[in-house]
Amino acid sequence: MNNIYEVQQSNKIKSGFIVFFFFIFVTLATYLISSAMGIYSGYEPGGLGFAGIALIVSGVSTFVSYYYSDKIVLGISDARLATKQEDKVFTSVAENLCIGSGLPIPKLYVIEDSAPNAFATGRDYDHAVICVTTGLLLKLNRTELEAVVAHELTHIKNYDIRLMSIVSVMVGLVALLADWFLRMSFHSRSKSSDRNNNQLQIIIMILGIVFAILSPFIAQLIQLAISRRREFMADGGAVVMTRQPQGLISALQKISNDHEPLEAANKATAHLYIANPFKDKNSSAVGWFSNMFNTHPPIQDRIAVLQKMS
């Protein structure tokens, strides 16, 4: 039996810790790789350095997808606006939860797809979007639907879309830098023979190479860990809103028992959904290791946490 407030408190601390660790790691990796690049090539481009250029490139591409996230995702998923006549339960449930949480009502969309799933996106409260599939509306009852919408509203409330965008800029930064550095080592092998005698420089070079090889991978793993942690937070937040853990438990069970993959989802939008939209990857063998590569925690773990609350 865990008090929901304590659960949310510990979720916040854990999430903050992972995010903090992530930024430390990215800073370290960026610093090491770019100084190794400087040593190797013998010059730093402009006043920005390689890190600056990489930050701008990955920043611009992610910023566009972040700023227009609502439009892009809705365009990909081919969603239609939910109406009071057609989707009465969905719209009234969302409206009620917004009364309860003090958030403005997000734009509500429906995707024609029989696989039950839902996601939230949008850069701030005024551009927030909640999207559900017709399968979800058909298969869940009102209490379960309310829990799912509350989960999505918590993502919006916690600015998870913003956080995940910043994190993916950082992952992009590290990946770009590492890529450039490794390419450089293959191409221009001539210049640096006169600079190699400094020991510190050699150490930085070696560390740079190690980080260039490993850090894109590690950064991505931490990104996934953050994503999973935010899912737990959204589950907890949904219970704080509805006070009915049972609703979310049975909704998650229904969603996970449905083995139809969601057609509208792709790898880029997978982390947005309430449950992983790619289902049938031998879910029986979900070990600690394969779990590391998932955007979502295993449903059983989420249900176990929820059951402790009820």
Partner 1 sequence: MNITMILLVSVILLALWVVSVYNFFVTSKTRVKASIQEIGNQLKRQADLIPNLEASVKGYLKHEKSILEMLSEARKLLSKGQDATKQISEVLPKLQVVVESNPELKANTVVSDLMGELRDTADKVMYARRLMIDLTADYNVKRVTIPTNIVANLFKFEELKGLETAEIGEHLTVNASEMKSPKVNL
List interacting residues with partner 1 (CB under 8 A): 88-89, 92, 95-97, 99-102, 142, 241
CB of 145 to partner 1, least distance (A): 12
Residues 159 and 196 sit within 8 Å (Cβ to Cβ): no
d(CA 9, CA 298): 21
- Exposed, middle or buried by CB within 10 Å (0-12, 13-18, 19+), for 81? exposed
Nearer to partner 1, 33 or 97 (CB): 97
Of 2 and 141, the one with the shorter C-beta distance to partner 1 is 141
Nearest distance from residue 6's CB to partner 1, in Å? 13
CB of 98 to partner 1, least distance (A): 8
Q: How far is CA 28 from CA 75, 123, 208, 215, in A?
A: 37, 28, 10, 10
Q: Which residues pair with 80 in a beta bridge?
A: 110
User: Considering beta carbons, is residue 28 or 99 the nearer one to partner 1?
Assistant: 99
Nearest residue (CB) to partner 1, 92 versus 196: 92
Q: Which is nearer to partner 1, 208 or 237 (by Cβ)?
A: 237
Active site residues: 152
For residue 197, give Cα distances in angstroms to 18, 21, 163.
Answer: 39, 34, 43
**26, two tokens:** 């990215």
CA 282 to the chain's CA centroid? 22
Q: Quick count: other Cβ atoms within 10 Å of Cβ 59?
A: 16
**Minimum gap (Å) between residue 153 Cβ and partner 1:** 12
Name the residue type at position 60: V
Q: How far is the CB of 271 from partner 1 (least distance, A)?
A: 28
What is the smallest separation between the CB atom of 171 and partner 1, expressed in angstroms? 33
SS3 37: helix
Do residues 226 and 167 touch, judged by C-beta distance below 8 A? yes
Tally of residues, the chain? 310
CA–CA separation, 216 and 213 (whole Å): 7
Determine whether 114 is exposed, middle or buried from the number of CB atoms within 10 Å of its CB (0-12, 13-18, 19+). Answer: middle
Report the residue number, 89 or 268, with the smaller CB distance to partner 1.
Answer: 89
Alpha carbon separation from 9 to 16, 22, 168, 237 (Å, rounded) = 11, 20, 25, 11
Of 92 and 266, the one with the shorter C-beta distance to partner 1 is 92
Q: Closest approach of Cβ 99 to partner 1, in Å?
A: 4
